[in-house]
Homo-oligomer: A and B are copies of this chain.
Amino acid sequence: MEKMVKIPKSHPRYWSLYYREKVIEGLEKGMTAKAGLIAHGRGEAFDYLIGEKTIEPAEKAMKAAIAKLLLAKHPVVSVNGNVAALVPKETMELAKALDAKLEINLFYRTEERVKAIADELKKYDPNVELLGINPTKKIPNLESERGKVDEEGIWKADVVVVPLEDGDRTEALVAMGKFVITIDLNPLSRSARMADITIVDNIVRAYPRMTELAREMKKLSREELEKIISEYDNGQILSETLLHINSRLKKLSQEGIWRKKELPF
């Protein structure tokens, strides 16, 4: 119905438009919630402000996250409808590189949506082990459908990766004592503010980079990994991210943007 005009790869916003289509396809495949489309738009806006590239504070956050995940006893990577639409293959590669479990975990949980996501992931790896199909445990202080977790997954986990996550849920996981890593383009969101490590980056750039880091950092000793974690300061990283956006906006306001067909930077 909403036929996409063919966009040449040379278009400056090609990838943004490409992933926008992926999320719309996610809705059409029954994986992504309608509210997930709106959430994707919020992400696009912040990615635009960041400059649509991985910034230094995000790189530092990814290193600390991978160090923590490599030291974890029971690491779990969560998958929701937007994640499955954007990075199905990359999610499985990350979990594999980390020896982490994968759990389908949805804010707007329906059995149809869980099944659609499982089917999508199995296209890339028919033998993938997926948790969250029949979750029997519940995160305290969340409404029933939103709190369901797998006993062998998030329930038991010490370190969880919850990308593109709702604020209430991030907060509830922190309150349970989990070490929470989130990927969220909005540095001001409640998830970003409440997580232990906040990676302010587009998941389509972050996951391949995190997988690369996991493979490299496996060679480090426990002490080296612990040092990376102890030197990491999430509050500082969030402030650096805000200042990055800031300095770009300031330069644009000085340069002037009116009637400029392209932004100068």
Question: Is residue A90 contacting chain B, with contact meaning CB distance below 8 A?
Answer: no
Contacts known (A45-B45, A193-B257, A193-B258); A38 close to B35, Cβ less than 8 A: no
Min CB gap A239→B, angstroms: 4
Q: Which residues of B contact A252 (CB under 8 A)?
A: 188, 242
Interface-lining segment among A62-70, A116-124, A243-251? A243-251
Q: Is the CB of A110 within 8 A of B1?
A: yes
Min CB gap A97→B, angstroms: 28
Bound-complex Cα distance A171 to B258 (A):
12
Question: Is residue A102 contacting chain B, with contact meaning CB distance below 8 A?
Answer: no
Q: Is the CB of A34 within 8 A of B24?
A: yes
Interface residues of A in 107-131 (CB under 8 A from B): 108, 110
Contacts known (A38-B20, A143-B5); A48 close to B256, Cβ less than 8 A: no
Closest to A38 in B: B41
Min CB gap A138→B, angstroms: 16
Q: Which residues of B contact A260 (CB under 8 A)?
A: 193
Kindly supply a per-residue 1/0 record for chain A positions 1-13, scoring 1 wherever the CB is within 8 Å of any chain B CB and 0 otherwise: 1100100000000
Q: How many copies does the complex hold?
A: 2
Q: Is the CB of A2 within 8 A of B246?
A: no
Closest to A24 in B: B34
Contacts known (A250-B242, A259-B194); A186 close to B45, Cβ less than 8 A: yes
Min CB gap A161→B, angstroms: 18
Identify which of B110, B188, B240, B243 contacts A263 (C-beta below 8 A): B188
Query: What are 28 pairs between A and B in contact, CB < 8 Å?
Result: A1-B108, A2-B34, A2-B35, A2-B108, A24-B34, A27-B34, A37-B37, A38-B41, A40-B41, A41-B44, A42-B48, A45-B46, A48-B186, A48-B188, A49-B49, A49-B188, A187-B257, A188-B252, A192-B257, A193-B257, A194-B261, A234-B258, A235-B258, A242-B249, A242-B252, A242-B257, A243-B253, A246-B246
A interface residues (Cβ-Cβ under 8 A, vs B)? 1-2, 5, 20, 23-24, 27, 33-35, 37-46, 48-49, 108, 110, 143, 171, 186-188, 190, 192-194, 234-235, 238-240, 242-243, 245-246, 249-250, 252-254, 256-261, 263
Apart from the given pairs A24-B35, A49-B49, 20 other A-B contacts in the complex at a CB distance below 8 Å: A24-B38, A41-B41, A41-B42, A41-B44, A41-B45, A43-B45, A44-B45, A45-B45, A45-B186, A48-B186, A188-B263, A234-B258, A235-B257, A235-B259, A238-B253, A242-B252, A242-B253, A242-B257, A246-B250, A246-B253
